[in-house]
Amino acid sequence: MTFPGKFTDQLVADKLDKVALSFLVDQLQIRRGGVAANIAFGLACLGLRPLLVGSVGPDFDEYRGWLDRHGVDTTGVRESQLHHTARFVATTDQVGNQIASFYPGAMNEDIEIDLGPVTDGCDLVLIGASDPDAMLRFTAQCRELGLPWAADTSWQLARCDGPQVHELVHGAAYLFSNEYEGALIEQKTGWTPAEVLDHVDIRVTTLGADGARVERNGEPSVDVPGVPDATMAEPTGAGDAFRSGFLAAIAWGLPLERAAQLGNLMAVHALETVGTQEYVLKPEPLITRLASAYGDQAAADITPFFA
């Protein structure tokens, strides 16, 4: 929602212990989101058939239809009988200040999900930001089932202590984070950057406009610059789109450099679109832009997967 004034103009300095405010907003936009659904959407747009796992409320029907139409397998979604689907509600004023709330709702029931019955035949489980106890349970289940997993703790790092971060990360096939989250992982675990690589197979760090870095123990890091002509419309969901591109390339058997390049290109699609699932992928312009950013060989390597 958008408030056409300034929040600060409505605050009375000596009455801040008794705040009672209501803002008449002049714009409301309702958009689909959630890290799991955003990543699954991007993977499906690239031609894969991702399985979405999580808890939703009875209000999810329209959203389920949208995801089904775009190629996401929603059979792993569990419907709560008690709570609405999680949602983020924000009001922004004319100078960019924001007052927001996050309602976890059905997400709090993720811990009741058993991965075993729904992940048969899966190549990789991405454990994204959810209820921290559920994230720990999913990680333990992956270990028990022998399923490779990607640790993507994201904004739930703030809720986790050092031992919990250790449990979420240790043994992961992939560790995704941005630079700040990466530093927080090191701080909470007490690991050095080199020691992090002793605990995961591949570490992927997104660097915003500077692209991404992919590291593997005993090998030189793969540093891939960002797409040079990107213009920002709205940044929410860019990290999720990066993961879609990166994991799609991995699923296709492409090397890490190509994975990071496609990840960067997908991130730009989200960055240049308002809304996390509003971008449209068109193979020819995508390949042309890939060639412009990363060269003809990169485009040639990825083109067959868009045929």
Residues forming a β-bridge with 206: 178, 212
Q: Kindly give, in sequence order, each residue whose CB lies less than 8 Å from that of residue 280, ignoring residues fewer than 6 positions away.
A: none
Beta-strand pair 51-56/73-79: parallel
CA torsion sign for 205, 214, 199, 187 is negative
Out of 26, 240, 296, 301, pick the active-site residue.
240
Q: DSSP states of 63-112 as a string?
A: HHHHHHHTT-EEEEEEEPSS-PPPEEEEEE-TTS-EEEEEE-GGGGGGGG
Q: How many residues does this entry show for the chain? A: 307
User: How far is residue 144 from each of residues 116, 126, 137, 139, measured CA to CA in Å?
Assistant: 9, 16, 10, 9
| SS3 of residue 15 by DSSP | helix
Q: Distance between alpha carbon 217 and the CA centroid of its chain, in Å?
A: 24
Beta-strand pair 174-178/202-206: parallel
Residue 198 is among the residues annotated as catalytic for this protein: no
Token pair listed for 131: 């209820």
Amino acid identity of 22?
S
Q: Annotated active-site positions, please?
A: 240
